[in-house]
Structure 1
Amino acid sequence: MTQPLLKIDDLHVHFHTEEGTVEALDGVNLEIYEDEVLGIIGESGCGKSVTALSTIGLLQSPPAEVVSGSIEYAGQDILRLSQRELNNIRGNDVTMVYQDPMTSLNPVLTIGKQVTEPLRTHSDVSASAARQQAIEMLEACGLADADRIMDQYPNELSGGMRQRVVIAMALITEPKLLLADEPTTALDVTIQAQIMDLLKELQEEFGMSILFISHDLGVISEIADRIAVMYAGNIVENCTMRELFDEPLHPYTRALSKSIPSLSDDPDRLPVIEGVVPDLRNPPSGCRFASRCPQYIGDVCDAVDPALAAADGSEKHEVACHLYTDIVDETPPADWEHLSAPSTGASSRTESGESQ
């Protein structure tokens, strides 16, 4: 296998607040390869955005502190670069699309000024040439009459148009890695689908890698090749998209799958994950999901933090759970419910575990 474009190794990030130190990331490990889309999914506050912002050095310090770990982009440790070296990568090789287009654009600058800024900052190009490239990128992002839009202000555009402008800003330098932090959250369902189709088309056209963050399994299944499931600052499962829907392993992943409404079922109420997320100012010493886990197996869950490791029979399917370690002999039950991917037609399973 080729070397990863981005490699995050044992990343620990703390936030120092008046109420105490929040251990936001607790040893995160991730790899993204060229021309690949890696999805990160999890509840709000689990550390998805912190992971992305750490990647390009955008965490505000204080209160944020990268306590330990490394972030390597194309073989360079981001955390050891000077500000000048980091600026050469940020906004050029690695760019970001934020989740709210309403606040991602400067209201007092024209669209043209904002879209051309990254290009003029990172390359020696004239104003007229930058404007022409910006018009072409806006058109590539599905905006008609781009020449007129260049002279407009953000408040003159709809939410969907503004999100396309933000994507154009991120792609104008033809980055190798795009960080997309819930880019469709603020949009209605129809526009959301259009933006997802646009990202897939542009990813194939430019051959870039994408780190796609979402809290919605249905949305992320439309674009991701692999997926990492986060819970309370930890990666608890890492596998291909197909494996996640065919056979999720971690109890938290299974609970997330069950919480998605199905057209074939008519429950009185949607399933929920019992309990609450642990306070990361005083996190548990063992598994952070133990207090909510329906497959809790005893003291080992409270005392030992399970490492993310390959599950039996699959070198590429990693899970952080004591059900899959040598500490205990128990194996996961075969009758947990499985969810088929809404757009891929993954197989469902009976209670006996046989594929349909």
Structure 2
Amino acid sequence: MSAPSTVLVTGGAGFIGSHTCVDLLDHGYELIVVDDYSNSTPQVFSRVERIAGRFVGTVYELDIRDRHALSSVFARHSVDAVVHLAAAKSASTSLKTPVEYYDTNVGGTTALLHTMHEHGVHQLVFSSSAAIHGDAGPAPLDEATPARPVSPYAASKWICEQILADVCRRRPEYTVLCLRYCNPAGAHPSGLLGEDPCGAPDNLVPYVAQVAIGRRDRLRVFGTDYPTHDGTAVRDYTHVMDTVEAHRLALDHLADAPGMHVFNLGTGRGSTVLDVVAAFSRACGGPLPFEAAPRRPGDVAERVADPTAVARSWGWRATRDLDDICRDAWRFQQLNPRGYGGSARRPEKKT
């Protein structure tokens, strides 16, 4: 079986999705993209095409939970494989709206699986999260680290993984490559694509970028009493371009073996919140104001991935560091001080 050539990307207008589209177009793939724009904008596609020098392909605005609409997309196109990125992703918001998170993430995944099976598509790259490990301790997390999700967001990703594993056990024609990310961040080096969420950013790097550009007064550092070198939480920040390159490699390796296979993506190195603030201060050329705040529910002291398995299997390694992340994120923020403009954007739905 050869590597897939026509790929359906769910959530293709989002932060990871738009960068994935660029990388896949750069490497000759044909794309079909679906997105409901709940936390993104269709304006990214002109930028994707400008970077790649190719048309994105056919883009559909739909919610993947709408099986009728999704089925019509599969009926119109010959799809070889799916990269499933569409999901709600804020751990803190999921504590307030758990039903929405299970409905969106688990319901979206089961609707996609129903539709794939209906149309004879059996190859999937799934976007999971290292957050499923919860408070697993300071050691780098490998694929065998037990799942201990501490938020509905993390639990929804773990449930999706179990569903996919069950499908692969019962249907030998399926191949699923599950990628557990840590904290993808940064931007395309052109400055044309970056992280521009609706409303206040839930992730650290885009929030710091908005402080640096003057859109926000200061950063609130949630928790300064963790057992780390400066008291702030440790995460494994991985450049978005390294992350999306792993998705392309996953497509190349779908033919290796059937079944469900899980890989952690990360650098294997942790950085505290204040390490990120210092790196971004170097990137933007000045100090950034911040203030201490209480810990947030659902946060853990440390989460760092062990990427040994994916390096051994595919030769993938993160080649960019925290300074690269902050430099590229700052370039995007400077070129897009108010983000993408957002006239077509919609607020996130609540339950």
TM-score norm. by structure 1 comes to 0.30
Structure number with higher relative contact order (C-alpha < 8 Å, ≥ 6 residues apart): 2
> Which one has a larger percent helix, Structure 1 or Structure 2?
2
TM-score norm. by structure 2 comes to 0.31
